[in-house]
Amino acid sequence: MGFKQLVVGLAVATALTLALAPSHAQAVNLDFNMDGVHPAGASVSYAGGTAPLVGTQISVDSVAGLQTPLNQGSILACTGCLLSFTTGNLISYDGINNMYTFGGGGSISVVGTITLAGITNATILTGSFAQASVVATQNGFMVTIASFTDTKNAALLNYFGLPTNVPYAGNMNLSFSVAGGVTNGAAFRSTQVLSGDLTNTVPEPTSMLLLGSGLAAMGLWGMKRRTRA
């Protein structure tokens, strides 16, 4: 708003895209698997108060393409790939369900090597959180569930025939264990990180087409207005 026709066109086209896009989840996904074996130093922690949830040195062992345009079903080995993340600050604690809720922001990244896709010691995924939560049981088993938006390495996207330079929607689930359990919203730190995955939803081609068509139409509308003025 404030950039006249171009911004008005973008706003209208975006609104049309969101209104017309199907509400169901997309079938095209990239799945980043986290195995149960992590390097020394792997941890998930919360320092207490309004601190964020922090994860470091968490191993990602493979990336799979699900219903992708190219190399559908391929599972690429991820060598030395490490997940690191910092959520937004704690925004609430539910004592009944022993659930911590963290806000948006922070950062998430996966760095490593995927030889088949031509990626060597590079950032594979980077983004920020929408929200994250941790549910703790009294026996010490804890599960993190989070959503985020990100961009990905172009070489990986090209391998699977996916669009580059556009935001992707991601979800993370990761389990870990804290000796003795955690209650009453207390701080915790776990070095017993278990398994999980990052599931990354590909932007819907139909929505991308609608957005492009909408922008083109609004651009023509702006040109007509300037011609008549």
Domain residue extents for the chain: 27-199
pLDDT computed for residue 117 by the predictor:
87
Contact 34/55 with Cβ under 8 angstroms? no
Taking the CB of residue 123, how many other CB atoms lie within 10 A of it? 13
pLDDT computed for residue 4 by the predictor:
37
Separation between Cα atoms, residue 90 and residue 30, nearest integer Å: 29
**In this structure, what token pair is assigned to residue 218?**
């609004």
Residue that the structure tokens 């007509």 belong to = 224
Total length of the chain: 229
Considering only CA atoms, which of 52, 79, 63, 76 is closest in space to residue 29? 63
Average pLDDT value over all residues in the chain: 82
The one-character DSSP state at 51 is: P
**Model pTM score:** 0.77
The one-character DSSP state at 78 is: -
Residue-wise pLDDT tens digits, 157-175 = 999 999 998 999 999 999 9
Burial 147-181 (b: 16+ CB within 10 A, else e): ebebebbebbbebbebeeeeebbbbbebbbbbeeb
Residue-wise pLDDT tens digits, 72-100 = 999 999 999 999 999 999 999 999 999 99
Separation between Cα atoms, residue 88 and residue 101, nearest integer Å: 9
pLDDT band, residue 205 (cuts 50/70/90): low
pLDDT computed for residue 59 by the predictor:
97
The one-character DSSP state at 101 is: E
Residue 192, beta-bridge partner list: 177
pLDDT band, residue 183 (cuts 50/70/90): confident
pLDDT band, residue 204 (cuts 50/70/90): low
Considering only CA atoms, which of 107, 208, 203, 191 is closest in space to residue 148? 107
**In this structure, what token pair is assigned to residue 146?**
């989070």
